[in-house]
Amino acid sequence: QVQLVESGGGLVQAGGSLRLSCAASGRTSNIYRVGWFRQAPGKEREFVARIRWSSSYTYYVDSVKGRFTISRDNAKNTVSLQMNSLKPEDTAVYYCAAGVRPVPIQYDYWGQGTQVTVSS
């Protein structure tokens, strides 16, 4: 089992920045990838970014490329999402998730989420 806890959400003005963290515990040696997702009110959950646990490979949804950066610290078992140039449309509950298999690209463990609100 892997446990995930997000932190770092909050209220920020448009154009501002926030840094989200995802702390992993439990069988972290089983993790293959960690992803960030978000869900805005009345909308479906959306993929944001992912990173492999043991390499520098990253992938982003087009809407956040150039603004968000995903990174990891294996020594601390954390994955961070640096969000810059935030827009009101980035407002959502952000979740981190972990997958343990190379394929298919799926996520087996989820955190509880952290709220990000961007005011205009």
User: Above 90 in pLDDT, residue 33?
Assistant: yes
Region 54-73 average pLDDT: 96
Region 72-98 average pLDDT: 97
Region 77-105 average pLDDT: 97
Q: How far is CA 99 from CA 11, 28, 113, in A?
A: 29, 10, 16
Which residues are CB-contacts of 110 (< 8 A; sequence separation ≥ 6)?
A: 4, 95, 96, 97
**pLDDT value at residue 56:** 82
When the pLDDT of each residue in the chain is averaged and rounded to a whole number, the result is: 97
Region 13-20 average pLDDT: 98
User: Above 90 in pLDDT, residue 29?
Assistant: yes
